[in-house]
Amino acid sequence: MSLPQSDIGLVGLAVMGQNLALNIADHGFRISVYNRTTVTMEKFVAAHPSTPGGLDGQATIEGFVASLKRPRKIIILVKAGAGTDAVIDSLVPHLEEGDIIIDGGNALWTDTIRREKDLKAKGLRFIGSGVSGGEEGARFGPSLMPGGDKAAFEEIRPIWEAIAAKVDDKTGKPLEGATPGHPIVGGVPCTTYIGPNGAGHYVKMVHNGIEYGDMQMICEAFALMKNLLGMSAEECAAVFKTWNTGVLDSFLIEITADILAQKDPVTGKAFVDIVLDTAGQKGTGKWTSTNALDMGVPAPTVAEAVFARYLSAVKEERVNASKLLKGPAVSFTGDKQAMIDAIHDALYCSKICAYAQGFQLMRTAQVDYKWDLPFGEIAKIFRGGCIIRARFLQKITEAYQHNHDLVNLLLDPFFTSELDRCQTNWRKVVAAAATNGVATPTFFSALSYFDAYRTETLPANLLQAQRDFFGAHTYERTDSPRGKFFHLDWPEPGRPQLEV
């Protein structure tokens, strides 16, 4: 007896692929799976003999494609780049017009645009879908950011909405409690159509850039509590646990409290104290920063987070520098709890700025790529499943619901009032960090961004005069309309000034 055909297929059974396949099967969809190493596929299918939808393991590409209902829907979850292209090339000869390929990896959005164009010429449809939430999210509900062919998305929509994380739409809080075979029922799914061509993967890239900033800020808050206030990891864990009940309530704050409370099973010391301080990365934060530079969008806090990881990597240099370069002696004599409260506010304000920079970058990109990004919906789908899920994303959602054309989150009345309420503490923390020599690059950067953005007249007037002096780059005048440029016939350096 022949087996029923599958609703969807998946290529790539590493950790993310396996968990996403199980998530799909848990929601009653039959899924065919293929992996280049057949034994991996066989072990995976054997380990999960009974799921609501069913797993169909296939040993060949031909058999895999033949096992799918038309139009075929195929998810690729392999290492981004050449690996994705190789899988697409292996699939194309076996596909028919109208079939759909879905790239769920961390692809560069320009690669997604290229792939969609190439496949469209072959009569195939392509979706580039950001998938955020890590292993746990893939298994029980990720945030999904699909872009590409709109009609193709409508065909995968029932699956995407079923497997996505769910939130309570009024509070924005994620719905929890899913277990194998028993997914979440109800709630609002954390997925929406982002836009054509590479829009989905672009938004996922910006998500990851914000994630870089968010993680680095939390580390800086920890560094201040540890190095300035002399607190133990366990004491810091208690603070983060408390913070997770207020405006900073988020996945990253929650896991930070858990990490800081963890003991090393080998030594019994605080686990964080035996982890080497060299951070890795997969490049998406760098993509965000590079794109911001290319587009002329100020996103300094995200860039500082990337640079902080680079600086952490030169461990041997830092060890040597610590013996040669001297800074101030750390000395704190004030109210400890007041400083903890101030660090909370500095983290909160810096976080607002990082999100503002990310959304401003998306706002600029949509013009260049002719997208119409649904910012309120994007904030909505970030509320659950993804790594940056946080309570205050509900406020970002509301900000764009009130004003779709909001040019910068800092100008929304809620965030304006929050920054006004907390900035005294923010400045207090940045000053204390500078005075005591505690490196807090994202706190500094975010505050400088805030101060520059709210300044009517910046010293760029002098900078532009310098450019006109040495390179005849021209300048605009305060007493002439914008867009009209002038050049001054400057004297040689050191010569008398021009006569008025």
Q: Give the tens place of pLDDT for each residue, 242-274.
A: 999 999 999 999 999 999 999 999 999 999 999
- Tens of pLDDT along 428-437? 999 999 999 9
CA distances from 433 to 205, 220, 441 (A): 31, 10, 10
Q: Is the dihedral of CA 441, 444, 450, 456 positive or negative?
A: negative
Residues of the chain with CATH 1.20.5.320: 457-500
The stretches of 244-314 forming alpha helices (DSSP H) are: 251-261, 284-295, 300-313
The token pair that represents 439 in the structure block: 């490196």
Residues of the chain with CATH 3.40.50.720: 8-197
Query: 8-197, what's its fold?
Result: Rossmann fold (3.40.50)
Mean of all residue pLDDT scores within the chain: 94
Q: Which residues of 115-134 are buried (b: 16+ CB within 10 A; e: fewer)?
A: bbeebeeeebbbbbbbbbbb
Distance of CA 383 to the CA centre of its chain: 12
Residues of the chain with CATH 1.10.1040.10: 202-453
Architecture of domain 202-453: Orthogonal Bundle (1.10)
* Banded pLDDT at 173 (limits 50, 70, 90): confident
Q: Which of 100-114, 161-175, 351-365 has the lowest mean pLDDT?
A: 161-175
Q: Report the percentage of the chain scoring pLDDT > 70.
A: 99
For position 169, what pLDDT does the model report? 80
For position 1, what pLDDT does the model report? 46
Active site amino acids? 204, 211
Q: CATH top-level class for 457-500?
A: mainly alpha
Average pLDDT over residues 182-202: 93
Average pLDDT over residues 349-361: 97
- Stronger pLDDT, 500 or 425, i.e. the higher one: 425
- Tens of pLDDT along 203-246? 999 999 999 999 999 999 999 999 999 999 999 999 999 999 99
For position 491, what pLDDT does the model report? 87
| pTM summary value | 0.93
- Tens of pLDDT along 278-318? 987 777 889 999 999 999 999 999 999 999 999 999 999 99
**Burial bucket for residue 309 (CB in 10 Å: 0-12, 13-18, 19+):** middle
Distance separating alpha carbons of residues 252 and 247, to the nearest angstrom: 13
Average pLDDT over residues 472-477: 95
For position 2, what pLDDT does the model report? 65
